[in-house]
Amino acid sequence: MTRSNFTRRGLLRTGAATGAGLALPTIFTGSAWSAAHSGYTNAPEGGTVTLGFNVPQTGAYADEGADELRAFQLAVEHLNGEGDGGMLQTFSEKNLDGTGILGKKVEFVTGDTATNTDTARSSARSMIEKDGVIMISGGSSSGVAVGVQALCQEAGLIFMAGLTHSNDTTGKDRRANGFRHFFNTEMSGRALAPILEANYGKDRKAYHLTADYTWGWSQEKSMRTYTEAMGWETVNTVLTPVGAGDFSSYITPVAQSGADVLILNHYGGDMVNSLTQAVQFGLKDMQANGKDFTIVVPLYSELMARGAGANIKGIFGSQNWDWKLENEKGDRYKGTNAFVQSFGTKYGFPPSQAAQTCYVQALLYADAVTRGKSFNPCSVAEALEGFEFDGMGNGPTLYRADDHQCFKDVVVVKGKEEPENEFDLVEIVDITPRDTATYPVDHPDFQGGSLGTCNPGA
Amino acid sequence: MLGLTKRDTALFAIVVAMVVFAPFILNPFPAASPMAQFNAGYPDLMQRFLIFGIFAIGFNILFGLTGYLSFGHAAFLGTGSYAGVWMFKLLSMNVLPAIVIAVVVAGLFSVLIGYISLRRSGIYFSILTLAFAQMSYALAYSVLTPITNGETGLQLSLNDPRILDGAAAADGSLPVPNFFGIEMRSSTELYFGGWEFTLNAGYYLCAVFMIAAFYVSIRIFRSPFGMMLRAVKSNQQRMNYTGLNSRPYTLAAFVISGMFAGLAGGLLVAMDPLAGAERMQWTRSGEVVLMTILGGMGTLIGPVLGAGLIKYLENILSKINDSILHQWFSLFPDGLSDFLVFIVHPFIGKGWNLTLGLVFMLVVIFLPGGLVQGGQKIAALFRRRKPDQPVSVKHPAE
């Protein structure tokens, strides 16, 4: 049964066959990216256009992902002229008339990123190759956003980042085809520092627990920069794995560390767990260095507040947007109520900031296509760069051309001491105006990358 | 032909034909039809079929022949991936150095792990490999972040040195992996009526490697070396008593399968230049065990079939959502259709693992020899054997 006959002839034959095999792919090079009829990847044909919504349906950020998906579905309805139109009525541009995008009915496919860059890339690739999407949006977790953004750049699609808060998304890892509406850790730092100083003073010792990936690193760096600038001392920083579930082993040493502030650079389910455990360990009621021990959660959301329940009371953080903005802070934030209204009607509860940013991104994309009169990613990018708009709930907003980052007001919030209902968990403490939140393009935390040039694919 | 027996040559020819024509075979439904979502003929998934096929073929050389169940093979795939991306970052965007280095690094790594783990056999061996793989995962995930970039995943960036072709990124966009100028992403679309077929350069590169891997696997199965490995499986103790030292053989098998895993890892990053730590997680190691058992452990073609089935379920089933279900069942009255959606819902979308579990249980209970045994049973039916004559289920490895 064994035939090891490596003859000269056999070897030659094998060699020739292997050579032929290796040469096989060259046959196809002549007509690489044959879709020459369009000039860009996945040009929509017929009466429909497909968008890809790649969100975490499993993993530590699954709650945010579910809310993002609801927002996307709502946006698609509004673009197709169903429902009450939401922010289309308040948006400062009036190009979208409910007939889809450029007269094409909007359809969408969804994918699960599993809060994992590898899975997200694979899911995005199948959207591009199988479903022929023209734009990809979504992605809680900056790791995912950075990975998918790079993929979209390579494949020649527009990426409208959803919930991604790391500086790197529009800093070191920015791409010409990627756009971010959400704010970032630098803005969080700028917004939070004065509030923390006013409430907790200049002499504090901080202990950081940080999610071990691009967003956590970025958040920790920004918080350290701003808290140390006002005199706080950083006692220790500890990296924790994403989706750890149990943080008790990380929280136990905090009490003995000599710190009097715990800064939780966690998000989503991780933050809910770590905060809950920190409170259970009695940190919130503890005295350290003669002061009340406090906890700070730099990036906050209603969803997390809902998950953490009473533990969130009195804890400061920052938000991109809040559903009570227009009611409490006035007409500057118009669009908020329109969106909350249609979201609430459809789903029965107010939207989170993740939902708002995704909804706005979808509308902004549709508007940019309409203004540029083409689905070509380069035309869309041109329409979005330097675009100034209003009426989307955040006040006047600018898409800066240099790094594709949106600049707008930042909301500083606090866990409400006495919530009136289950959705009213967060209290708006302060608004940091856009001018204060704006940082220069050459900010050192955003260096080491460049946009490159827009890639239309095909 | 090629030093194979007639039967093996036929099997080999079938595999080659299937791989070469997969873009057509896997797209049986016209692009516009509602059945098109079951088409698997798009580059990303087809590449995965082949890459995980290679991974499973390699695993089968160890598990199928020697019976040593390694629960840490994903570690080699992961190290291969990281090595490959580093080649892209440091040397060149040509995929060849990346793939070669991926195989070499995974090989060296498996020598190290194999040398230690193979001191034990059975469950102890499995646990040792599992422990090593989890260690590698933890290292990649947090300790070695400067090398692996942790959770974010190792990615290309514009200011990588790329000694050989750094200037290629002059226009400011990231270079793409290529094979002497042929971009891995480049595809040719063919249209026949309503049908759409994508011929992708990266896929055919994987195909060459997969066919080569399959050929090597056949040769190993049929060689005296393969015989020794099978002897290890049937009775290692007796083998040792006869004065044969079996460890060099098992170590060789371990390293070979580690190198196959490295090749798979290298190909993965050649198709999509990103490496994440999750590739090393123990669930991924478990996946390749499933692939091998599902397809038919110890058979030549089984692991490839198993890999294909799992990747198909993962990619196609997980994309079916409730709105698609409602379309399917729209024929039925409202209440009934809602009920059907409710029943099917847990098995699709993110619940695809549940379906996989069911399929796995059915296969293990009714077809212990895997899909290959199923194929043999069907073939036997067509040969009109008498029902009382036992179907000759050969020992799979023979």
CB contact under 8 A, B3 and A1: no
Which residues, at least 6 apart from A9, have a Cβ–Cβ distance to it below 8 Å?
A: none
In this prediction, residue A30 carries a pLDDT of: 35
Most confident of A431-445, B29-43, B329-343: A431-445
Which residues, at least 6 apart from B26, have a Cβ–Cβ distance to it below 8 Å?
A: B39, B40, B41, B45, B46
A50 to chain B, any CB pair closer than 8 A? The answer is: no
Measured between beta carbons, which residues in chain A are less than 8 angstroms from residue B349?
57, 112
- A370 domain residue, yes or no: yes
d(CA B151, CA B136): 14
Q: How far is B375 from chain A (nearest CA, A)?
A: 23
Which residues, at least 6 apart from B108, have a Cβ–Cβ distance to it below 8 Å?
A: none
- A40 domain residue, yes or no: no
Token pair 């330097």 in the structure block, residue: A386
Residue that terminates a domain, selected from A262, A292, A319: A319
Measured between beta carbons, which residues in chain A are less than 8 angstroms from residue B276?
116-118
Statement to judge: residues A208 and A120 lie in one domain? no
> What backbone torsions phi and psi does residue A271 show, to the nearest 5 degrees?
-65, -40
- A249 domain residue, yes or no: yes
Statement to judge: residues A153 and A62 lie in one domain? yes
Cβ neighbours around A444 below 10 Å, total: 10
Asked whether A296 and A317 are in contact (CB, 8 A), the reply is: yes
R_g of chain B, CA atoms, integer Å: 22
A348 to chain B, any CB pair closer than 8 A? The answer is: no
Amino acid at site B1:
M
In this prediction, residue B149 carries a pLDDT of: 86
CB contact under 8 A, B152 and A25: no
Statement to judge: residues A313 and A372 lie in one domain? no
Q: How far is B187 from chain A (nearest CA, A)?
A: 5
A421 to chain B, any CB pair closer than 8 A? The answer is: no
Q: Which parts of A373-427 fold into alpha helices (H)?
A: 377-384
Residue of A nearest to B205 (CA): A25
CB contact under 8 A, B173 and A125: no
Amino acid at site A121:
R
User: What is the mean predicted confidence (pLDDT) over B38-57?
Assistant: 94
Measure CB to CB from residue B350 to each of A26, A58, A453 and give the nearest one. A58
Asked whether A167 and A185 are in contact (CB, 8 A), the reply is: yes
Measured between beta carbons, which residues in chain A are less than 8 angstroms from residue B152?
117, 142-143, 146-147, 213-214
pLDDT per position as a tens digit, B247-270: 999 999 999 999 999 999 999 999
CB-based burial label for A33 (10 Å; 0-12, 13-18, 19+):
middle
| Distinct helix (H) and strand (E) counts, chain B | 16, 6
Structure tokens at B64: 């199928």
Residues in a beta bridge with A316: A296, A414
Chain B contacts in chain A segment 213-242 (CB below 8 A): 213-214, 239, 241-242
Q: Residue A271's domain spans which residues?
A: 186-319
Residue of A nearest to B319 (CA): A111
CA angle A330, A334, A336 (to 5 degrees): 100
Measured between beta carbons, which residues in chain B are less than 8 angstroms from residue A270?
none
Measure CB to CB from residue B208 to each of A3, A22, A125 and give the nearest one. A22
CATH number assigned to the domain comprising residue A178: 3.40.50.2300
Tens-of-pLDDT digits for all 458 residues of chain A?
445 555 666 656 666 666 555 554 444 433 333 344 468 989 998 899 999 999 998 887 888 899 999 999 999 999 999 989 899 999 999 999 889 999 999 999 988 888 888 889 989 999 998 889 999 998 878 889 999 998 998 889 999 999 999 999 999 889 999 999 999 999 999 999 999 999 999 999 999 999 988 899 999 999 999 999 999 999 999 998 887 788 999 999 998 899 999 999 998 889 999 999 999 999 988 888 888 999 999 998 888 888 888 889 999 999 999 999 999 999 999 999 999 999 999 999 999 999 999 999 999 999 999 999 999 999 999 999 999 999 999 999 999 999 999 999 999 999 998 888 888 889 999 999 999 999 999 999 998 878 888 888 87
Please name which of A453, A393, A451 lies closest in space to residue A169, comparing C-alpha atoms. A451
Residue of A nearest to B212 (CA): A18
Domain ranges of chain B: 6-297
- A390 domain residue, yes or no: yes
CB contact under 8 A, A452 and B186: no
d(CA B297, CA B267): 24
Measured between beta carbons, which residues in chain B are less than 8 angstroms from residue A403?
none
Please name which of B279, B254, B273 lies closest in space to residue B184, comparing C-alpha atoms. B273
d(CA B232, CA A59): 42
Which residues, at least 6 apart from B60, have a Cβ–Cβ distance to it below 8 Å?
A: B217, B257, B292, B297, B298, B299, B302, B303
In this prediction, residue B8 carries a pLDDT of: 93
Cβ neighbours around A370 below 10 Å, total: 20
Measured between beta carbons, which residues in chain B are less than 8 angstroms from residue A450?
158, 172
In this prediction, residue A104 carries a pLDDT of: 94
Residue B203 clears pLDDT 60, i.e. is over it: yes
Measured between beta carbons, which residues in chain B are less than 8 angstroms from residue A2?
222-224, 227
Asked whether B326 and B337 are in contact (CB, 8 A), the reply is: yes
Cβ neighbours around B347 below 10 Å, total: 16
R_g of chain A, CA atoms, integer Å: 24
Residue of B nearest to A54 (CA): B319
The sign of the CA dihedral B290, B295, B296, B297 is negative
Residue of A nearest to B38 (CA): A130
Measure CB to CB from residue B42 to each of A4, A10, A126 and give the nearest one. A126
Mean pLDDT rounded to a whole number for chain B:
89
DSSP B100-156: HHHHHHHHHHHHHHHHHHTTS-HHHHHHHHHHHHHHHHHIIIIITHHHH-GGG-EE-
Q: How far is A371 from chain B (nearest CA, A)?
A: 26
* Buried-state track B118-147, b at ≥16 Cβ within 10 A, e below 16: beebeeebbebbbebbbebbebbbbeebee
User: What is the mean predicted confidence (pLDDT) over B121-146?
Assistant: 92
d(CA A274, CA A249): 10
Q: How far is A116 from chain B (nearest CA, A)?
A: 8
> What backbone torsions phi and psi does residue B301 show, to the nearest 5 degrees?
-90, -20
d(CA A151, CA B177): 12
Least confident of B30-44, B101-115, B319-333: B319-333
Which residues, at least 6 apart from A7, have a Cβ–Cβ distance to it below 8 Å?
A: none
Which residues, at least 6 apart from A117, have a Cβ–Cβ distance to it below 8 Å?
A: A141, A143, A144, A146, A147, B151, B152, B153, B274, B276
Statement to judge: residues A162 and A206 lie in one domain? no
Residues in a beta bridge with A317: A413
Distance of CA A208 to the CA centre of its chain: 22
Rounded to 10 deg, the angle between the A336-347 and A62-79 helix axes is 100
CB contact under 8 A, B201 and A17: no
Residue B315 clears pLDDT 50, i.e. is over it: yes
SS3 label, residue A80: coil
CATH for B6-297?
A: 1.10.3470
Measure CB to CB from residue A4 to each of B5, B158, B223 and give the nearest one. B223
Residue that terminates a domain, selected from A372, A393, A408: A408
CB-based burial label for A386 (10 Å; 0-12, 13-18, 19+):
exposed
Measure CB to CB from residue B222 to each of A1, A112, A242 and give the nearest one. A1
DSSP A258-321: T-SEEEEE--HHHHHHHHHHHHHTTGGG-EETTEE-EEEEEE--HHHHHHHGGGGTT-EEEES-
Statement to judge: residues A201 and A290 lie in one domain? yes
| Distinct helix (H) and strand (E) counts, chain A | 14, 17
Measured between beta carbons, which residues in chain A are less than 8 angstroms from residue B23?
none
Statement to judge: residues A397 and A379 lie in one domain? yes
DSSP B246-272: -HHHHHHHHHHHHHHHHHHHHHHHHHS
Measured between beta carbons, which residues in chain A are less than 8 angstroms from residue B182?
25-26, 28-29, 32
SS3 label, residue A138: strand
- A69 domain residue, yes or no: yes
Q: Which parts of A204-267 fold into alpha helices (H)?
A: 214-229, 248-256
**Among A24, A107, A125, which would you mutate to test the B interface (most chain B Cβ atoms within 10 Å of its Cβ)?**
A125
DSSP state of B94: B
Statement to judge: residues A244 and A201 lie in one domain? yes
User: What is the mean predicted confidence (pLDDT) over B386-398?
Assistant: 53
Domain count, chain A: 2
CA angle B116, B118, B121 (to 5 degrees): 135
